[in-house]
Structures are given as structure tokens and as C-alpha cells.
Amino acid sequence: MIQRNEIVMLEVTTDWYLTLAAILFSIGFLGMMIRKNALIMFMCIELMLNAVNLTFISASKHFGQVDGQVFVFFVLVVAAAEVVVGLAIIVSIFRKQSSASVDVLNVSRG
């Protein structure tokens, strides 16, 4: 029997955060697999990275330790550096073939 006046508070546990992170990661991964625009793929990578960050933070909160949060800062720094290099590559690809599709770039085919 449900009491009307009671507000049922759903407790947001660590599992939720982990699930969200898994979903975000999967979306990013799927995007990497099916999209061919370099820019979109790049965004997917960012998505995956942030999913991992989320995992780190929630685990950190869960265990009450700061190690995970420290790692997140590292990941952020690396991601920033990656953006710089990645965007430069994308720009040069775009200049070369006036499209950002990566399928044309199959010169390393075996």
C-alpha cells in the first residue's frame, strides 16, 4: 500500500552512475564503428573518455578515496592535448580531400 504523502526518494546509488558511464561508453564506441566523419568520430572518442572519467569519479566516491579523481585530471589533460593534435589532423585531412570522411584514407590497407 502506497502512502500518498510519502515522497518516495529513489536513492541514486553508484550502480546508476556506472550504468550511465557504460551507456555513454557504448554510444561512443558504436559511433566510432558506424560513423565515417572524422569530426563525429572525434566527438565519440571524447564521449568515451568522459564515460571513463565518470566511472573513475563514481568509484572514487564509492570507496571514499581520491585516487580516481586524481586520475580524472590526468585524463582531462591528455584529452586536451589530444584535441589539439586531433583537430589539427582533421583540418589537414579536410584540406586534402575537402571532406572529413576517413574511409578514403585507406592507404595503409594490407
Partner 1 sequence: MYQEVKLELIFLLPIFLPFLTAIFLFLNKKLFNELITNFFTLNSALLSFAIAAYSFIVLGLDKFKPVNVELFQWISNPDISIGFTLDGLSGIMLILVTGLSFVIQLFSTSYMEKDENHCNYFVYFNFFVFSMLLLVMSSNFLVMFFGWELVGLSSYLLISFWSKKPAAAKAGNKAFVINRVGDFGFLIGLMIILDTFNTFDFYKILQNTSGIAESTITAISLFLLLGAFGKSAQFPLFSWLPDAMEGPTPASALIHAATMVTAGVFMLVRISPLLQHSKIASLLIIIFGLITALLAAFSAINQFDIKKVLAYSTISQLGFMFIAIGAGAYVAAIFHLVTHAFFKALLFLGAGAVIHSMHHEQDIRKMGGLRKKMPITASMMGIGTLAISGIPPLAGFWSKDEILASVFVNGGIYYVFWALALGAAFLTAFYMGRHWLLIFEKDNGFEHSDVAEAPKAMTRPLLLLGIFSIFIGFINTPFFHGLEKVLHVTLENVEVTHLPKGITLVVLAVLSIGAGFTGLIIAFLLFGMELHKRIDLKKFKLESPINLVKDLSSNVLYLNKFGNLFFVSGMKNLSRKVAVVVDGMLIDGSVNFVSTAFNKSSKITSTTQTGLVRNYVVYFGLFLLLLIALFIATPLVPR
The single-letter DSSP state of residue 27 is: H
The residues near 4 (Cβ < 8 Å, ≥ 6 apart) are none
N- to C-terminal Cα separation, the chain:
66
Other C-beta atoms closer than 10 Å to the C-beta of 23 total 11
Q: How far is the CB of 109 from partner 1 (least distance, A)?
A: 3
CB closer to partner 1 out of 31 and 58: 31
Site for partner 1 in 13-42 (CB under 8 A): 29, 32-36, 41
Q: Is 92 in the site for partner 1 (CB under 8 A)?
A: no
Q: How far is the CB of 5 from partner 1 (least distance, A)?
A: 43
Q: Is 105 in the site for partner 1 (CB under 8 A)?
A: yes
Half-sphere exposure for 23 (CA within 13 Å, toward CB): 6
Q: Is 85 in the site for partner 1 (CB under 8 A)?
A: no
CA 33, CA 22: separation in Å to the nearest integer?
Answer: 16
Q: How far is the CB of 32 from partner 1 (least distance, A)?
A: 4
Residue ranges that bind partner 1, judged by CB under 8 A: 29, 32-36, 41, 102-103, 105-110
